[in-house]
């Protein structure tokens, strides 16, 4: 009671860094993932092998890359259901071009360009025409996959022209024992963690998701930023699409089917708030990691993969209800 006004104002909200960390959903999800890994190392012979860990690291990277884009969209109060279809569209664009003899780099740039255009269409319809994100991206989910089928005539592509080996190396190879998609993921995570916190764009993403009207009243270019958010989400899907083409060594039109649901699950488990205003890049990564660990453990433990959905579904509900309980305490 004897504190001066200045002392009260100067006091930080959290007394210790521990209570700060313990308050984060991503922290507990991370603990859950670590515990699952430790348990699996003892329960199975197959988990803690270099080969299995390599596979886990590579498999979750694709979902995690897109989950970072999805987290951005969700933090801004939107949703992007079209990412799975953007994956197949970009994979198809790069394969068709490379099969036609174009170099990897030119084809990759063209594929990412297509992804950005798709994202810009999503964003423009949502921001400027004021249509609900759910409806627009649901429409794009259908349209983009259809475009991929038209482009390839629904054929499988497995010959990638002169840069064939380069594409396979970029998507499926490894350096220093780590799969290449993991490098892309780490770079993206670091960059986006900085962007969320230290740039105006990052601040405005969360401001829009928190209170769009307030953001508009303060003079933030809400519409323009929304377009860039959906472009970024599409970009991450495009990046994953290119890497997946290289990893699989062949591209068919059912690539990335229903992937948007796994991606949204990863983002939500990692702490992205579907009401907007909350989410972290590292949360998206940890959420994706947990889903992959669950999937991997079921296989190793010899449990039928039909149970996978049950476990992931339970985890989504547990993660979100945990978040609710935590908010009620505050």
Partner 1 sequence: MSRLRLSGISRSFGAIQALDGVSLELAPGEVMGLMGDNGAGKSTLVKIIAGNYRPSKGEIRIDDKPVEFHRPIDAQRAGIEIVHQNLALCDHLTAASNVFLGREPMKRFGPIRVIDYDTMRSTSAGLFARLKSETRPRDVVRRMSGGQRQAVAIARTLLSEARIVLLDEPTAAISVRQVAEVLDLIRNLRDHGISVILISHRMPDVFAVADTIAVLRRGNLVAAKRAADSSPEEVTGLITGAIEYA
Q: In the complex, which residues of this chain contact partner 1 (CB under 8 A)? A: 5-6, 8-13, 197-200, 203, 206-207, 209-211, 213-215, 217-220, 273, 276-278, 330
HSE-up of 210 (CA within 13 Å, CB side)?
Answer: 11
**Least spacing, CB of residue 201 vs partner 1, in Å:** 10
**Least spacing, CB of residue 20 vs partner 1, in Å:** 11
Q: Which is nearer to partner 1, 9 or 129 (CB)?
A: 9
Q: Which is nearer to partner 1, 164 or 326 (CB)?
A: 326
Q: Which is nearer to partner 1, 23 or 41 (CB)?
A: 23
**Least spacing, CB of residue 148 vs partner 1, in Å:** 37
**Least spacing, CB of residue 113 vs partner 1, in Å:** 25
Match 């930023």 to its residue by tokens: 225
**Least spacing, CB of residue 198 vs partner 1, in Å:** 4
**Least spacing, CB of residue 11 vs partner 1, in Å:** 6
Q: Which is nearer to partner 1, 52 or 211 (CB)?
A: 211
Q: Which is nearer to partner 1, 163 or 278 (CB)?
A: 278
Q: DSSP labels for 41-108? A: HHH-SSTTSHHHHHHHHHHHHHHHHHHHHHHHHHHTT---TTHHHHHHHHHHHHHHHHHTT--HHHHH
Listed residue (216, 323, 325, 237) closest to 280, CA to CA: 323
Let me know if 203 is exposed, middle or buried by CB neighbors in 10 A (0-12, 13-18, 19+).
Answer: middle
Q: Which is nearer to partner 1, 155 or 200 (CB)?
A: 200
- Let me know: does 276 contact 55? Beta carbons within 8 Å: no
Q: Which is nearer to partner 1, 12 or 129 (CB)?
A: 12
- Let me know: does 94 contact 101? Beta carbons within 8 Å: no
**Least spacing, CB of residue 30 vs partner 1, in Å:** 21
Q: What are the CA-CA distances from residue 132 to residues 93, 124, 128, 260 (Å)?
A: 28, 11, 11, 17
Beta bridge partners of 175: 178
The backbone region for 276, taken as left when phi is positive above 0, alpha when psi lies in -120 to 50, beta otherwise, is left
Q: Which is nearer to partner 1, 84 or 209 (CB)?
A: 209
- Let me know: does 268 contact 274? Beta carbons within 8 Å: yes
- Percentages (nearest 5) of helix, strand, coil residues in the chain: 75, 0, 25
SS3 call for 215: helix
**Least spacing, CB of residue 219 vs partner 1, in Å:** 5
């Amino acid at each position: 009671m004897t504190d001066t006004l200045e002392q009260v104002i100067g006091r930080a909200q959290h007394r210790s860094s521990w209570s700060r960390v313990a308050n984060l959903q991503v922290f507990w999800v991370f603990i859950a993932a670590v515990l699952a890994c430790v348990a699996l190392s003892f329960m199975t012979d197959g988990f803690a092998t270099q080969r299995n860990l390599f596979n886990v690291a590579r498999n979750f990277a694709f979902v995690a890359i897109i989950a970072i884009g999805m987290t951005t969209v969700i933090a801004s109060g939107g949703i992007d259901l079209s990412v799975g279809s953007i994956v197949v569209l970009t994979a198809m664009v790069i394969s068709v071009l490379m099969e036609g003899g174009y170099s990897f780099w030119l084809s990759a740039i063209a594929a990412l360009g297509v992804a950005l255009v798709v994202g810009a269409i999503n964003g423009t319809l949502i921001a400027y025409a004021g249509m609900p994100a759910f409806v627009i991206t649901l429409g794009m989910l259908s349209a983009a996959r259809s475009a991929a089928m038209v482009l390839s005539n629904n054929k499988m592509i497995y010959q990638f022209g002169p840069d064939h080996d380069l594409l396979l190396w970029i998507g499926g190879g490894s350096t220093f024992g780590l799969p290449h998609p993991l490098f892309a993921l780490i770079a993206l995570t670091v960059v986006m963690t900085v962007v969320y916190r230290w740039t105006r764009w990052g601040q405005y993403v969360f401001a829009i998701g928190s209170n769009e009207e307030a953001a508009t009243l303060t003079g933030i270019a809400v519409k323009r930023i929304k377009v860039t958010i959906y472009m970024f989400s599409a970009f991450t899907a495009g990046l994953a699409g290119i890497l997946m083409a290289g990893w699989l060594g062949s591209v068919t039109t059912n690539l990335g089917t229903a992937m948007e649901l796994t991606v949204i699950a990863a983002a939500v488990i990692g702490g992205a708030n579907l009401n907007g205003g909350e989410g972290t890049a590292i949360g998206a990564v940890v959420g994706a990691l947990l889903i992959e660990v669950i999937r991997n453990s079921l296989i190793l433990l010899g449990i039928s993969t039909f149970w996978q959905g049950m476990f992931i579904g339970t985890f989504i509900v547990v993660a979100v209800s945990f978040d609710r309980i935590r908010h009620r305490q505050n």
